[in-house]
Copies of this chain bind each other. A is one copy, B any other.
Amino acid sequence: MEDRTELSSLGEFALIQRLIGTFTNEQDSTIKGVGDDAAVIGSGEMKTVISTDQLIEGIHFDLSYMPLKHLGYKAVAVNLSDILAMNVVPSQIMVSIAASNRFSVEALEELYLGIRTCCEVYKVDMVGGDTSSSTSGLVINITAIGFEKEDKIVYRSGSKEGDLICLSGDLGGAYVGLQLLEREKSVFKENPEIQPELDGHDYVLERQLKPEPRFDVVRQLATIGVKPTSMIDVSDGLSSELFHLGKSASLGATIYEDKVPIDPATMLASEELKMDGLTSALNGGEDYELLFTIDQSDFEKIKDEKDIHIIGHMTDQGFHLVNNVGQQIELKAQGWKAFESS
């Protein structure tokens, strides 16, 4: 018998390393390949910034509580967020859909309506892709593209010790929204007569079902003349993203509990679910906010900016949270694992 290593026995990063670690780049037009939110390629002055993502039914989304229109919108939004995380405004997407015969034409129209709505809101053009059948379920692949001069592009790896850590918006809402939807799904499974109890939770549900890519933040930074030293979007949770920024620069980070922005609606829903709001913010993911570092000399420019919060600073090593009574707690990255056995 040949060796057989189960996919679930390796973590996401170890698996990717094993599969693509032997690839090398030969083209002068490859400026940044694998390893950031997007690749940077091209030979002219304007570089092409490009990212692709595949969403699989039953793995990345659950149609029992995700309406198809929202799914289409979200699929586009999260891909646009990858380009924004390079400090670049995306301008085009390509969309490939595979659907089984379980889906009607009308169902796919709902999906594409969501895709089109997101394109219209953010003035992004859909320039290609395909639609084909699938043997089971729904698969969505979106490629997002933007164009920018090389000196404007921001990578994960550029931070220096002492740089200030900034975050747009607030965290934890998308994860708490997901927990609410999961709770209602299991209640419904046990008793389909019971109406879902989602009243008063509009904010966290919208954070989960209809995340908005932060075009405004990238434009805001350009307006005030701040180029971050590093940037990433919060897809896997604040802790995990802090680790990406720190490790790629061989640094650590310290953040402060009282600076981590959490919306009151997120705290309220967390309490109802008997969850800790801060844990949701640190490990929840899917908020698609922008996490970035700036040089201390940019502090004056950014300190009064709306919806941007300074939550800590880069250190020489270690990842820590200083809690509200001044204790320093070690952070753990608990991002989503693609092949986790459950």
Question: Residues on A close to B: CB < 8 A?
Answer: 2-10, 12, 15-16, 18-20, 22-23, 25-27, 29-30, 32-34, 38-39, 41-46, 48, 50-54, 56-60, 91-92, 94, 96-99, 101, 103-106, 108-109, 112, 116, 119, 123-137, 139, 141, 143, 145, 147, 338-339
Contact = CB atoms under 8 A, between A and B. Distances in A.
Contact of A33 (B26, B42, B128, B147): B128
A19 B140 CA distance: 14
A92 B131 contact: no
B23 A54 contact: no
Nearest to A59: B133
Contacts of A339: 132-133
A211 to B, nearest CB: 18
Contacts of A60: 132
A90 to B, nearest CB: 10
Given A22-B116, A34-B127, A46-B44, A92 B53 contact: no
Contacts of A23: 116, 119, 125-126
Contacts of A105: 5-7, 9-10, 15, 18-19
Contacts of A54: 96-98, 130, 132, 139, 141
A100 to B, nearest CB: 9
B338 A7 contact: no
- The complex is assembled from copies of this chain, and their number is 2
A339 B134 CA distance: 9
A44 B147 contact: yes
A135 B57 contact: yes
Contact of A16 (B25, B38, B116, B131): B131
Contacts of A101: 6-8
Contact of A53 (B58, B59, B96): B96
A145 to B, nearest CB: 7
Contacts of A92: 27, 29-30, 39, 41
A56 B106 contact: no
Contacts of A135: 56-59, 136-137
Contact of A15 (B33, B124, B131): B131
Cβ-closest 7 pairs across A and B: A39-B127, A44-B46, A5-B105, A54-B96, A58-B135, A33-B127, A141-B141
Contacts of A130: 16, 52-54, 338
Given A94-B52, A105-B6, A338 B39 contact: no
Contacts of A44: 44-46, 147
B123 A27 contact: yes
A108 B8 CA distance: 13
A3 B130 CA distance: 24
Contact of A20 (B5, B104, B126, B143): B126
Nearest to A12: B131
Given A44-B147, A128-B39, A123 B26 contact: yes
A5 B52 CA distance: 30
B19 A131 contact: yes
